[in-house]
Chain A
Amino acid sequence: MSTLQHHNSTNTLASFVLDRTSVSVSRCYQCGKCSAGCPAATEMDLTPSVILRHLQREVPASDAAVLSSYTIWLCLSCQTCVARCPMEVDLPAVMDALRSESVRQKKVHPQAKDILAFHRSFLNTIERFGRLWEIGLIAEYKMRTWHLLQDVLVAPAMFLRGKLALLPERVKGRKDTRRIFDVTRSKEGHHS
């Protein structure tokens, strides 16, 4: 049984969330409607409302639990929770903020490494080419994760149906895209 030491609330994860998303987690009265409607809830280690509860406690143990949870990576950003939340808590925005913070603090849940790898591969391809090049994405993703056999059935079929381009398109606008990456990386960074 952990004893609650309520420490100064300026350096808590809740205050970080407030600062990043202007969502005050104290709004949440724990009705659980978000968890009830969340399509990914059954897969999560902490359901969405429990994430908020941990944030409300403002204790290091809870903050750590949130940042190292699988939940924040399983959030599909389907917006169902915020659309139905009686207190209008923008959970998807909170999840976004928590993910980047989880990466920064190197607390990413082991099972979430693949998901992070995917996001990074995705962003790298568009950083390089300005647009998504699906084969490039899959290739890099496989390199990062060693899921060499995944989708081997789907990919050729896609190719045959002309759904996969072998070569990336090189967009004129890609210089802009790169610049955007450089600038924003220096701001929040940590996405590659």
Chain B
Amino acid sequence: MSRIGVFICHCGENISSTVDCEQVSKACATIPGVAHSVDYKYMCSDPGQSLIREAIKEKNLTGVVVAACSPRMHEPTFRRVCAESGLNPFLCEMANLREQCSWVHPKEARTTEKAIDIVSMLVEKVKRNKPLYPINVPVTKTALVIGGGIAGIQAALDIANARQKVILVERDPSIGGHMSQLSETFPTLDCSQCILTPRMVEAAQHPNITLYTYSEVESLAGFIGNFTARIRKKARSVDEKLCTGCGECATACPIKKIPSEFNTGLGMRSAIYVPFPQAVPNKPVIDRTKCTYFLKGKCKFCESKCPANAIRFDQQDEFIDVQVGSVVVATGFNIKETSFFPEYGYGVYKDVITGLQFERILSASGPTLGEVKRPSDGTTPKKIVFIACAGSRDPAKGIEYCSKICCMYTAKHAMLYKHKVHDADAYVFYMDIRAAGKGYDEFVRRAIEEDHVQYIRGRVSRVYERNGKLIVKGADTLLGAQPVEIEADMVVLATASVANEGAEALAQALHVSYDGHRFFSEAHPKLRPVETNTAGIFLAGACQAPKDIPESVGQASAAASKVIGLFSSDELTREPVIAVVNRTAPPVYSTCVGCFLCFTACPYGAIGPEEIKGRDGAVLKTVANVNPGLCQGCGTCVAFCRSRSIDLQGFTHDQMYAEVMELFA
């Protein structure tokens, strides 16, 4: 006869304000098999925990149900508590009275009744729980970092400096990401490349880091500590070992009028190109969609000029399979194409540009070598209007969130513009100034007070061209929303930050969840901001949500420390929630009839045949057998098994039926 202990948590008032906890514990006390039932203000607190410890000992409980918050929150806590008092942790279950009851229902009798139902269901389940013992699996001490922007570089360096191996994969021909495109960085105005390029070089030369640029992660299989990743190394059409990066090929290339991605279309590149001078590695790639040879079958100018004979037109994409123990996703963000903003005329008027384009114009390595010039005619604009929230906080355009970085970079843009063009006027149309960060608000104040940037609180309704000027129609909401019309030479749109292209596909390949805007989801919004719901996979930087550089770097280091922690032991213990094929006494041995339907059901190929042999070695029966190392515990096989010979530990038929039946008892 089982002796279950039930512990009802008030969670301060989070639960008790709508659920009558006392009544719940009284009701549970009457359930047959319940030896102990109490309610307490904070079960997760120290006194709360010792309450459980003592009860386990005094009443020698055979099972525990903690009715509190979601198991996704505190299951580990309370299972640990049980273990500490000698009760197998898997004899402890949590009833979710907070997220799925008290927070979603009003204070009324039916809410308490539901609470009682929920607890009794788990009491019935836990009665049937069996002691389980963690499985130990070896850890492959190599981390895979996807994305070579500042976040990826930071994570890779931190892990590598902790003497662990790292494989850094970057989709573009060079690492560096968006940060390498920036001019100067807020709030200190230090040159972005000056602080970034040393890191890029360090990452490329680090003995513990293997760098794959112009490469993408195709698939990921396995589980924490034991992943297998397939990397597609796209054909550069250049032999990286031979290439010296002299640049003769690019000079020789006849196709020179290709809009440069790095210069956001404001500059041109050739068909064989290095994205930017400080690129790492400093080796070119051939853009096969533009190269005359690949399009027309002749040209090869680059090959003839290459002193190292490094050009390889016949190079193929390579696939590399790597074993890794953990993954850091740092694939970054992108900026929303503003063509969906017809009222601002982006794409119609050359001098209406995005913030990222303005970064290139301000950058010393940019198309104008850092001089502020209009894309249309190369003249120096005397009046620039900066429009914040161009796409962000705009449900009508499908983006209701705040992109977070625009307020700061817009202030920076206006400031740098005034520094470079002294007699210039800079106007900023804004809705709110969100400058929450160390030295951030001071920075914005400086732009306003010292550099005399004109801040106008209001959204712009329309931008159109009238005899060579861009007419910006805005309103000043601090003056009764009076219409304001500015004749500008140039307009800079602080466009929304959006998830990078391919984010969805990657999330699906990695089996991590993502939100409605295709940003990757963290395991807990507050307490597990760098973990994903998939053990062993962590997030860094703007792939999780719009972030500035300090935040991205911070999160990258956090992710790195998670990886290092994981690698600190040679083995890691996995929850024993796995499928098992039953064994019975001879002559049956197992109720498994060997239909092997489960083979096809298993997503992990974790199930194989096992021969049961007699003393003479003759095969008596072939049955299914689960590899505990590979099984992830989804239980699909269990639902498939006709003879009910395979069952999932922790979610057995016995347990689940009992749980459900209790609801209608």
B475 touches A47 (CB 8 A): yes
- Give the Cβ gap from B238 to chain A, nearest Cβ, in Å: 47
Interface centre among A29, A38, A42, A47 (most CB of B within 10 A): A47
Are B480 and A50 in contact (CB-based, < 8 A)?
yes
Docked complex: B394-432 residues within 8 A CB-CB of A: 394-397, 431
In the complex the two chains form, is B481's CB within 8 Å of A32's CB? yes
By a CB distance below 8 angstroms, the chain A residues around B461 are 33-34, 36-37, 80, 84
By the criterion CB–CB under 8 Å, are B460 and A86 in contact?
A: no
Interfacial chain A residues near B396, Cβ < 8 Å = 85-88
B460 CB contacts on chain A under 8 angstroms: 33, 36
* Bound Cα distance from A21 to B484, whole angstroms: 30
Chain A residues within an 8 Å CB radius of B397: 86
Which residues between 563 and 610 of chain B lie within 8 Å of chain A, taking CB atoms? none
Tell whether, in the assembled complex, residue A31 and residue B459 are in contact, meaning their CB atoms are under 8 Å apart.
Answer: yes
Q: How far is the CA of A85 from the CA of B457 in the complex (A)?
A: 16
CB neighbors of A among B482-521 (8 A): 482-484
Query: Which residues of chain B are near A38, meaning CB under 8 Å?
Result: 483
CB of B209, distance to nearest CB on chain A (Å): 44
* Chain B CB within 8 A of A48 CB: yes
- Interface contact A35-B431, CB-CB below 8 Å: no
Contact A32 B395 (CB under 8 A): no
Interface string of A14-54 (1 = CB under 8 A from B): 00000000000000011111111110011000111110000
A32 near B343 (CB under 8 angstroms)? no
Residues of A within 8 A of B484 (CB): 36
Q: Which residues of B contact A49 (CB under 8 A)?
A: 475, 477, 481
Residue among A30, A36, A42, A86 facing the most chain B CB atoms (10 A cut-off): A36
B393 touches A36 (CB 8 A): no
Taken together as a complex, chains A and B put the C-alpha atoms of A47 and B460 apart, in Å, by: 15
CB distance from A27 to the nearest CB of B (A): 9
Query: How far does the alpha carbon of A11 sit from the alpha carbon of B570 in the complex, in Å?
Result: 70
CB of B345 within 8 A of chain A? no
Q: Is B305 an interface residue (CB 8 A)?
A: no
Q: How far is the CA of A49 from the CA of B476 in the complex (A)?
A: 11
Q: What per-residue 1/0 map shows which CB atoms of A86-116 lie under 8 Å from chain B?
A: 1110000000000000000000000000000
CB-based nearest B residue for A49 = B481
- Chain A residues near B457 (CB, 8 Å)? 32
Given known A85-B396, A86-B397, A87-B395, contact A36–B431 (CB-CB < 8 A): no
Q: How far is the CA of A47 from the CA of B482 in the complex (A)?
A: 7
Q: How far is the CB of B223 from chain A (nearest CB, A)?
A: 44
Most buried by A among B394, B397, B459, B480: B459
A41 to B476, CA, bound (A): 12
Identify the closest chain A residue to B477 (Cβ).
Answer: A32
A87 CA / B395 CA spacing, docked (Å)? 6
Residues of A within 8 A of B482 (CB): 35, 41, 47
Interface string of B366-384 (1 = CB under 8 A from A): 0000000000000000000
B395 pairs with A35, CB closer than 8 A: no
The answer to whether B480 and A36 have CB atoms under 8 Å apart is: no
Among A41, A42, A50, A86, point to the contact of B459 (Cβ < 8 A): A86
Interface size on B, residues (CB 8 A): 24
Chain B residues 322 to 379 lying within 8 A of chain A, measured CB to CB, are 343
The answer, yes or no, to whether B462 is at the interface (CB within 8 Å) is: yes
Q: Give the complex CA separation of A38 and B473 in angstroms.
A: 10
**Nearest CB on B from A75, distance (A):** 14
- CB-CB nearest in chain A for B430: A31
A35 pairs with B394, CB closer than 8 A: no
Q: Distance (Å) between the CB of A30 and the closest chain B CB? A: 6
Q: Mark B451-477, 1 if CB is under 8 A from A, else 0.
A: 000000111111000000000011111
- Which residue of the partner chain, among B394, B395, B458, contacts A36 with CB atoms under 8 Å? B458
Bound CA–CA A33/B393 (angstroms): 13
B652 to chain A, nearest CB (A): 50
Q: Are B393 and A46 in contact (CB under 8 A)?
A: no
CA distance A88 to B481 in the complex (A): 18
Give Cα A37 to B473, complex, Å.
7
- How many angstroms from the CA of A36 to the CA of B472 in the assembled complex? 10
For residue B137, give the distance in angstroms from its CB to the closest CB of chain A: 51
Chain B residues whose CB sits within 8 angstroms of the CB of A34 once the complex forms: 461
Which residues of the other chain, B, contact A88 by a CB distance below 8 angstroms?
A: 395-396
Complex CA distance for A50 and B159, rounded to whole angstroms: 55
Contact of A33 among B395, B475, B480 (CB under 8 A): B475
Collect the chain B residues with CB atoms within 8 Å of residue A32's CB.
Answer: 457-459, 474-477, 481
Residues of A within 8 A of B477 (CB): 30-32, 35, 49
Q: Using an 8 Å CB-CB cutoff, how does the interface string of A128-148 with B read, 1 for contact, 0 for none? A: 000000000000000000000
Q: Are A86 and B462 in contact (CB under 8 A)?
A: no
The closest CB in chain A to the CB of B431 belongs to: A31
Given the complex of chains A and B, what is the CA–CA distance between A37 and B471 in angstroms? 12
User: Are A50 and B481 in contact (CB-based, < 8 A)?
Assistant: yes
Chain B nearest CB, measured from A74 CB (Å): 13
Q: Which of B147-205 contact A (CB under 8 A)?
A: none
Do A31 and B395 touch across chains, with their CB atoms under 8 A apart? no
A23 to chain B, nearest CB (A): 14
Q: Are B431 and A84 in contact, with the CB atoms below 8 A? A: no
Q: Which residues of B contact A47 (CB under 8 A)?
A: 475, 480-483
The smallest beta-carbon distance between A42 and chain B, in angstroms, is 6
| Complex interface: chain A residues within 8 A of B476 (CB) | 32
Chain B neighbourhood of A31, CB < 8 A:
389, 431, 458-459, 477
Which residues of chain A are within 8 angstroms of B395 by Cβ–Cβ distance? Answer: 86-88
| CB proximity of B48 to chain A, nearest CB, Å | 41
Bound form: Cα–Cα A33–B475 in Å: 7
CA A49 – CA B460 in complex, angstroms?
13
Contact pattern, B 602-624, Cβ under 8 Å of A = 1, otherwise 0: 00000000000000000000000
B391 — nearest CB in chain A belongs to which residue?
A86
Nearest Cβ in chain B — how far from A44, in angstroms?
A: 10
CA distance in complex: A48, B343 (Å): 19
Residue of B nearest to A39 (CB): B483
Partner of B483, one of A41, A80, A85, A86: A41
Question: Are B393 and A35 within 8 A (Cβ)?
Answer: no
Inter-subunit contact A33/B483 (CB<8 Å): no
A64 to B474, CA, bound (A): 28
Complex Cα–Cα for A38 and B481 (A): 11
Q: How many angstroms from the CA of A96 to the CA of B459 in the assembled complex?
A: 24
Q: Are B473 and A86 in contact (CB under 8 A)?
A: no
A38 to B475, CA, bound (A): 10
Q: Which residues of B contact A50 (CB under 8 A)?
A: 480-481
Give the CA-CA distance A32 to B461 in the complex, in Å: 8
- Could you say which residues of chain A place their CB within 8 Å of the CB of B458? 31-33, 35-36
Q: How far is the CA of A38 from the CA of B396 in the complex (A)?
A: 18
Q: Are A36 and B343 in contact (CB under 8 A)?
A: no
Q: Which residue of A lies closest to B485 (CB)?
A: A36
Which residues of chain A have C-beta atoms less than 8 A from B475's C-beta?
32-33, 35-36, 41, 47, 49
Question: Which residues of chain B from 270 to 321 have any CB-CB distance to chain A below 8 Å in the complex?
Answer: none
Tell me the smallest distance from the CB of A168 to a CB of chain B, in Å. Answer: 41
A38 to B461, CA, bound (A): 9
Q: Which residues of B contact A48 (CB under 8 A)?
A: 481
> Are the CB atoms of B343 and A84 closer together than 8 Å?
yes
What residues of chain B have their CB less than 8 Å away from a CB belonging to chain A?
343, 389, 393-397, 431, 457-462, 473-477, 480-484
- 10 closest cross-chain pairs (CB), A and B: A37-B461, A36-B461, A36-B475, A35-B481, A32-B458, A32-B475, A31-B459, A33-B459, A32-B477, A47-B481
Of the A-B pairs whose beta carbons lie under 8 Å apart in the complex, a sample of 13, sorted by A's number, is A31-B431, A32-B459, A32-B475, A35-B458, A35-B481, A36-B459, A36-B473, A37-B461, A47-B483, A49-B477, A84-B343, A85-B396, A86-B394
Known: A35-B483, A50-B480, A85-B396. 11 other contacts (CB 8 A): A30-B477, A31-B431, A31-B459, A32-B476, A33-B459, A33-B475, A36-B461, A46-B480, A47-B481, A47-B482, A86-B393
